Structure 1
Amino acid sequence: MEEFNQKGIAEELKKEPSAENPYRLLDLKLTHVEKFAAGIPAVIAAFRDLFEEKAAIRGTRALFKMNQMGGFDCPSCAWPDPDDERSALGEYCENGAKALAEEATSKRVTPEFFKQNSVFDLAQLDDYQIGKMGRLTDPMYLPQGATHYQPISWEDAFKKIAAHLNGLESPDQAAFYTSGRTSNEASFVYQLFAKEFGTNNMPDCSNMCHETSGSALRPTIGIGKGTVKLEDFYDAEVIVIIGQNPGTNAPRMMSALAKGKQNGAKIIAINPLPEAGLMGFINPQRVGAILHGGAQLADLYLPVKINGDMALLKALELLLIEFEQKSPGTVFDASFIEEKTVGYKDFLKQFDHYNLDELARLSGVSKEALYEAAATLAFKKRIIFCWGMGLTQQPNGVDMIREILNILLLKGSLGIPGAGVCPVRGHSNVQGNRTMMIDEKPTDEQLDRLENFYGFKMPRKHGYDVVRTIKAIHEEKVKVMFCMGGNFLSATPDTTYTAHALRKLNLLVAVSTKLNRGHLVHGKEALILPTYGRSDKDIVNGELQIVSTENSMGVVQDSKGMLEPVSKNLINETQIVCRMAMATLGERAVVDWQRYHDSYDAIRDDIEQCIPGFENYNVRVRQKGGFYLPNAARDKQYFAKDLAGRAPFTLTDIPDNTLAEDEYMMATTRTHDQFNTTIYGLDDRYRGIKNERRVIFMNPVDIDKAGLKAGERVDLFNYDDGIERVAPLFIIVSYQIPEKNTATYFPETNVLVSVNNVVKESNMPASKYVKIKIKKHDPEVYKKVDNMLYQGALQRPS
């Protein structure tokens, strides 16, 4: 292992905590690349984490209640549960079990732990080590200039927050961040407090994952969500998965794909990497699947270049037009196009200028494979398109999603069984957060409803999203930041720039279940407020409470924790918001915050009055399986309101992805042992990586052309905005990826993603489209990193 303090970095490290994982290598082992996902190894991995977290008994008991009716919602992804019967063996996946193990752990991070460990010392650990410390037990405070967090009472914590908020010159000097785990009830009161305080500065995790989907869908089909139910996967004729890796990011999706395939669906997988979860699936709950090696999923795999998706989609449309010309009326749905769309003729005209050879070259996919994909779609109508951040984090992601809609509009494949769009959401209630109006751009219609119900003037000016918040903190326009969950530092782009901004804050508050690096790169003062996990019992006034969440298919259901909390000094997220509101607003409050503090039912009663689709909320959420929210695009084929319910065809451009001779395109991705910024382990089993995260996947042709070797150590550079960004010390792994394309893990390479490299319209970080240069590792590069990272000084422990 390379020593962390070599080559001049030691002295620089004495100044302040690192914003990133330490630049050190472990002991990389390469194993075989898997062709099938899940199976027995997934079961073993799931239970191994429970044992490692010393939660074998209580964790296993909880597993059998996770995602079950009357149980609690998985704290991991937002894939829906079946509406009818759910597996008695367990309605969860490997990564869901790992997420539960993190919550159910018996390890505790107590005030004594903070007394023994300075902020600086903790920052020398990597993110995996930090995350494995255990559950937070008590509120902690870091005074200005201090080296250690110290305990603080809840009352004093809220007084301190109130003093900082009330001391601001304007409410817009505060920002309120939300992660996707927050329940509907907590999200509603959180956004309501921000509005009563006077700001719409509500950056949230949607700004980094699926803001692009909403930006594309709302103006075209009238709703920023998907239009399918889980059962539609069982009835589909073709399922297209583009820019998504279900085996790691939504493993339970593979069961739905397998069932659809069993019913006759064809599956097309479009991705730069041939992921195991796209290719095959071994259902660990079926003995036959285990014995016979599982089932193939993708009938056709298209190895598209990074950001070659637009050229690929145009190629499919060009070929579909040719199929329609040869067999008029059999490929396109003429009546749907006539009655439900606008702009069809202008859409067709553009294809006079497109050439299949050129589109194939730009996409990186052969003409033969493109033809096979188009032929698969041509005479089918029940078509589902699924996508993930492989599309949403591209600079033209909004346009690409609208191009997908163009294909579905040609086919009439919206608002019918077995067809539609399916943006696969990441975190378990990120969609519910947005439904609860966690949004920096609330609509006038939403604000009018709130204003009419509560009787106070709502702030109308749009607030800051994530990227704009980072810039506003840098410019000292935002001075207090409150984070409801998440790890803002590690999740965001341009790590150096973001860390430097956060250190300018007067106060950074983090509501958390576990320690993360975001607690260690902080404002002048910092607070950590510990809260319940999704699996914990939440008791209010002696009664066990339910909360509610919304999954990827728009189902709202209840969730009831069952584990004894790790500490008696935790407060649920809803009460944290209410107590902050009471301390901050005092007698000027219009909202009855004490009522909300004491009753989740009261919150749901008022949500019912303020948000359409939640009629009789308290009754329906307690029904078996919950209830679906209205979806006019799905249920009525009613699309854009300003077009009398029709959907427009969209005209889009093909991007110029030209690279210099020594440039490569990089996309960041997760390992299989990771959920967002939470690192469960150091392996990426499906891709054959063991015990290392600082790797870069490269095509073997590129490795040879660059005069490099697989296994060699390199440094990665980005030069956007005329700034040199450096991610030092990575190991080259030869992999099946298109030439001039590379892939790395986040958050290790977020430092290379410029804060200005964003998606058009949605302003999301374009983390799947980063131009880099690769150079042989030079130990002197650490000095460049030092100069970027360690600006300012933090008092060192004596």
Structure 2
Amino acid sequence: MARRVTFRPYAGPAGGWGSARSVGTILARENVLASGALLLTRHNKVDGFQCVGCAWVKPAQPLPFEFCENGAKTVAWEITNHRCGPEFFAAHTVTELLDWDDYHLERPGRLTHPLRYDPDTDKYRPVSWGTALDEIARELRASRARDPKRAVFYSSGRCSNEASYLYGLFARLYGNNNLPDSSNLCHETTSVALPESIGQAVGSVSLADWGHTDCILFFGQNPGSNSPRMLHPLQEASERGVPIITYNPLKERGLERFTNPQSPTEMLTTRETRISSQYHQVKTGGDLAALTGICKALLEREEAGEAALDHAFIAEHTHGFAAFAAFLRAQDWDDLVRRAGLPRTAMEATAAVYARARATIGVYGMGLTQHRAGVATVQMLANLLLMRGNMGRSGAGICPVRGHSNVQGQRTMGVTEKPELVPLDRLGAQYGFAPPREAGYTSVEACEAILRGEVDCFVELGGNFVRAVPDRSLVEPAWRGLRLTVNAITKLNRTALIPGEISYILPVLGRIETDRQRTGIQSLSMEDTTGCVHGSRGMRRPASPHLISEVRLVAELGKRVLEPNPRVPWDEWCDDYRLIRDAIGETYPDTFHDYDRRMWEPGGFQRPLPACKREWHTKTGKANFLVPGSLDEDPDMPEGGHDVLRMMTLRSNDQFNTTVFGYDDRFRGIKGTRDVILMNRLDIDRLGLADGAMVRVETVANDGVRRELPGLTIVGYDIPVGCVGAYYPEANVLLPLWHYAVGSMTPAAKSIPVRVHRMDGDAARTRHGRPQATLQP
């Protein structure tokens, strides 16, 4: 049935009745209106289950309904009563399904049986677990004999700490550190930038700090859609009179105003809380210049006689300030204004408010990390906080907002391509083997290796890898050349429909489902964005008796692929997950001692974060002021050419990562479609286009590859001149694989140079699964 497409500005706040209606709609659509509503009362509660969506903080004293609109959607999506069983796959070929969009691929519901791709019929057919695991193990053993580096073990941020620990151990016993994960695609920039600045790879802010701050600086993060529970501490801060200063290319409703759905008074009176006190629409790719301008304005206030810097902190706790101050003095205001796309007064106004604040939190998201100069940009925010001693102080610090629910926890557990982040000596002694020391593949490097034909096997523990990565129109054909692809997932996605020579879909338990093993129902744990570790209990009957847990899946592969090792008790670990947590405590004794008890503490238990105590685990032994080599956030952006625009990828209010819940983006006023490009009306006019016109977007890159996405409709929007926006993951076809953050290899999805061309008459739209990207002759 055709969808009605409309573009109409949204007048309401974030939250409010719009949020309430959206939650009710998806619970009804998934046929879990009553049971889902009851289950949500245990969401993010002690002795309940932890959110399967974002990684925002789980408080020690939760609200009666400690969930948000998108959290409720992820719950409904997982506990749906719809099923995607063998009869579905008998009715549809893979070729047919490749023409379905992301929403309709997941819409049939939860996968129920293990499946093997049959190339003769082009269909997935049910298979027994024993048959599947035995063949997968044979292929992994054969690849290992050829070269252990030819297998890749990817995982998404939904995996529990327990499954992640076993997965990392399995890969290293196999013989490599090829453990790319979803962090590579989003916050790897943080993991590279912050250790150099403050000596730790995660933020320094606790939930308690939000109650003591008197200034919040916000950069490139959209809490209204991506982490709505964050709006509660933001609302409380605003009501205390705390200035909240936002830098973001788009006016996001969650950073403008909020009506608390849990407040009867606000819902009945439709009262709204103002969130941002200043809102600066920085140019896409202009954050580094804007942050430099704020730092420069702060230094100028100090040199004009105002006490704007914390000299005692700088002298005792930092290194490199003199060089940094010289760098700031050398910057030209006209250049900063041009690069930031903001007037000088905007940056000076921010500095003026910041200079008066006692304790400031700096918040950021992928709007900073997904740029070519993302590492330098995050470090510039750290510089700004260090100038006034806002690190290791109550109510202050740096706060990267992670996306997927346990993307940080799996890194803590050793799912990383960086061997230096894992206690390999201790791991080797614990399990009696010599761990590999060579760095593994990042997600981008895994794609590059696949394109070179250097990978045989790709095992995916959760996620939708091919749909999420750049240049997928080049990656997809190469993916078909893999010998083995394994998709351990809960719902059908596009990656599973691009089979290698041998391809399996392995349906696993979701976090909300009860996981019964020989010793009884098991519990899991995960880590939130502030480094607090929480327990989680599954509470819903599994979608199918044929599902197994991710823990058991990894263990079964370990038994079949690896040599017997009496120190690696796969069966015992499967029977009792407490034994896995004991093993984790042995590997990481300083952090995970008494793990099984502490994970049930209200608010979770806090990982040691040295910077919070002003202990700096850096090469200098202090926090470092770091000077960027250049203020050019995107050296690949062509100079000149009035028709070249900067494109940023966006997520809608109706999606989580590559999961699309529907076609409406309520806050942006877009209904019934995702095939749009947001443009400033001045750009529409000067390029001879028209609001509502259908266009083709092409990447500007001199690498011999033609990347284009036709069939997008122009929506005139409040976005900076020279900038455009399109939805992720559809627009990933426009993102070159080599276009990533220097130092972290995080895809630079927030600043892609593009041109927009009108499509005339009956020009055909691309089919959803088949964007156009071809090698130029």
Which secondary structure does the structure 2 equivalent of 1:641 belong to? coil
2:278 counterpart of 1:300: yes
2:390 counterpart of 1:413: yes
Quote how far apart the aligned CAs of 1:659 are. Answer: 4.6
* 2:672 corresponds to: 691
Give the alignment partner of residue 109 of structure 2, picking from 134, 146, 167.
134
- 655-664 or 572-581: which moved more? 655-664
Q: Alpha-carbon deviations, 1:252-293, whole Å to 9, x = none?
A: 111111112222311001000010011111101112323143
* 1:745 corresponds to: 727
Distance in 2 between the 1:445 and 1:117 partners? 44
Give the alignment partner of residue 112 of structure 1, picking from 67, 75, 87.
87
Quote how far apart the aligned CAs of 1:767 are. Answer: 0.6
* 1:326 corresponds to: 304
Which secondary structure does the structure 1 equivalent of 2:592 belong to? coil
2:159 counterpart of 1:182: yes
Structure 1 pair 341/497, CA: closer, same or farther in 2 (3 Å)? same
Distance in 1 between the 2:235 and 2:69 partners? 17
* 1:650 corresponds to: 627
Quote how far apart the aligned CAs of 1:722 are. Answer: 2.9
Distance in 1 between the 2:705 and 2:121 partners? 32
2:654 counterpart of 1:673: yes
Which secondary structure does the structure 1 equivalent of 2:31 belong to? coil
2:584 counterpart of 1:603: no
Distance in 2 between the 1:549 and 1:352 partners? 45
Residues 775-790 of structure 1: pairs in structure 2 closer than 5 A = 775-778=757-760
2:598 counterpart of 1:617: no
Residues 757-768 of structure 1: pairs in structure 2 closer than 5 A = 757-768=739-750
Read off the aligned partner of 2:606 and give its amino acid letter.
Answer: Y
Structure 1 pair 545/425, CA: closer, same or farther in 2 (3 Å)? same
Distance in 2 between the 1:374 and 1:213 partners? 24
* 1:87 corresponds to: 63
Read off the aligned partner of 1:684 and give its amino acid letter.
Answer: D
2:196 counterpart of 1:201: no
Structure 1 pair 528/659, CA: closer, same or farther in 2 (3 Å)? farther
Which secondary structure does the structure 2 equivalent of 1:48 belong to? helix
2:77 counterpart of 1:102: yes
Give the alignment partner of residue 355 of structure 1, picking from 327, 332, 355.
332
- 448-457 or 706-715: which moved more? 448-457
* 2:756 corresponds to: 774
Contact map agreement 1:108 1:136 (CA 8 A) in 2: yes
Quote how far apart the aligned CAs of 1:644 are. Answer: 2.3
2:488 counterpart of 1:511: yes
Distance in 2 between the 1:327 and 1:364 partners? 29
Q: Alpha-carbon deviations, 1:650-698, whole Å to 9, x = none?
A: 3442106535222110000101000000000100000000001000000
Read off the aligned partner of 1:40 and give its amino acid letter.
Answer: W
* 1:631 corresponds to: 609
Distance in 2 between the 1:713 and 1:531 partners? 41
Read off the aligned partner of 1:760 and give its amino acid letter.
Answer: V
Q: Alpha-carbon deviations, 1:598-634, whole Å to 9, x = none?
A: 1110100010011231111112113333211100101
User: How many residues are treated as equivalent by the alignment?
Assistant: 764
* 2:692 corresponds to: 711
Distance in 2 between the 1:129 and 1:787 partners? 17
Give the alignment partner of residue 467 of structure 2, picking from 477, 480, 490.
490
2:24 counterpart of 1:43: no
2:515 counterpart of 1:557: no
* 2:48 corresponds to: 71
Which secondary structure does the structure 2 equivalent of 1:665 belong to? strand
2:204 counterpart of 1:223: no
* 1:579 corresponds to: 556
Read off the aligned partner of 1:705 and give its amino acid letter.
Answer: R
Structure 1 pair 790/142, CA: closer, same or farther in 2 (3 Å)? farther
Contact map agreement 1:143 1:524 (CA 8 A) in 2: no
Which secondary structure does the structure 1 equivalent of 2:619 belong to? helix
Distance in 2 between the 1:172 and 1:589 partners? 25
- 425-434 or 542-551: which moved more? 542-551
Structure 1 pair 443/783, CA: closer, same or farther in 2 (3 Å)? closer
* 1:164 corresponds to: 139
Which secondary structure does the structure 2 equivalent of 1:545 belong to? strand
- Determine what percentage of the aligned residue pairs are the same residue: 38
* 1:14 corresponds to: none
Distance in 1 between the 2:66 and 2:765 partners? 46
Unaligned runs of 5+ in 1: 2-24, 792-798
Distance in 2 between the 1:131 and 1:786 partners? 18
Quote how far apart the aligned CAs of 1:756 are. Answer: 0.8
Which secondary structure does the structure 2 equivalent of 1:149 belong to? strand
Structure 1 pair 708/589, CA: closer, same or farther in 2 (3 Å)? farther
Contact map agreement 2:514 2:537 (CA 8 A) in 1: yes
Contact map agreement 2:710 2:766 (CA 8 A) in 1: no
Read off the aligned partner of 2:679 and give its amino acid letter.
Answer: M
Distance in 2 between the 1:323 and 1:783 partners? 54
Quote how far apart the aligned CAs of 1:368 are. Answer: 2.2
Structure 1 pair 769/368, CA: closer, same or farther in 2 (3 Å)? same
Which secondary structure does the structure 2 equivalent of 1:546 belong to? strand
Quote how far apart the aligned CAs of 1:590 are. Answer: 5.1
Quote how far apart the aligned CAs of 1:445 are. Answer: 5.9
Read off the aligned partner of 1:469 and give its amino acid letter.
Answer: A
Which secondary structure does the structure 2 equivalent of 1:726 belong to? strand
Distance in 1 between the 2:774 and 2:490 partners? 28
Distance in 2 between the 1:338 and 1:254 partners? 36
2:534 counterpart of 1:566: no
Structure 1 pair 659/568, CA: closer, same or farther in 2 (3 Å)? farther
Q: Alpha-carbon deviations, 1:345-369, whole Å to 9, x = none?
A: 1111112322223312221112222
Structure 1 pair 444/707, CA: closer, same or farther in 2 (3 Å)? closer
Distance in 2 between the 1:82 and 1:337 partners? 33
* 1:152 corresponds to: 127
Quote how far apart the aligned CAs of 1:782 are. Answer: 6.9
Structure 1 pair 542/351, CA: closer, same or farther in 2 (3 Å)? closer
Which secondary structure does the structure 1 equivalent of 2:279 belong to? strand
- 459-468 or 32-41: which moved more? 32-41
Distance in 2 between the 1:503 and 1:289 partners? 54
Distance in 1 between the 2:336 and 2:700 partners? 28
Q: What TM-score, normalized to structure 1?
A: 0.93
- 688-697 or 341-350: which moved more? 341-350
Read off the aligned partner of 2:109 and give its amino acid letter.
Answer: G
Unaligned runs of 5+ in 2: none
Q: Alpha-carbon deviations, 1:219-272, whole Å to 9, x = none?
A: 221110010001211211111110111100110111111112222311001000
2:736 counterpart of 1:754: yes
Contact map agreement 1:640 1:647 (CA 8 A) in 2: no
Quote how far apart the aligned CAs of 1:332 are. Answer: 0.6
- 199-208 or 497-506: which moved more? 497-506
Contact map agreement 1:341 1:649 (CA 8 A) in 2: no
Q: Alpha-carbon deviations, 1:34-88, whole Å to 9, x = none?
A: 46211111011012101101111221111111111110001000001212x2112
Read off the aligned partner of 1:296 and give its amino acid letter.
Answer: R
- 114-123 or 752-761: which moved more? 114-123
C-alpha RMSD of the superposition: 1.8
Structure 1 pair 151/695, CA: closer, same or farther in 2 (3 Å)? same
Which secondary structure does the structure 2 equivalent of 1:757 belong to? coil
Distance in 1 between the 2:423 and 2:121 partners? 43
Quote how far apart the aligned CAs of 1:719 are. Answer: 3.3
Give the alignment partner of residue 312 of structure 1, picking from 290, 312, 318.
290
2:635 counterpart of 1:660: no
Read off the aligned partner of 2:142 and give its amino acid letter.
Answer: G
Distance in 2 between the 1:367 and 1:471 partners? 42
Read off the aligned partner of 1:64 and give its amino acid letter.
Answer: T
Q: Alpha-carbon deviations, 1:692-724, whole Å to 9, x = none?
A: 100000000000011111000000101322311
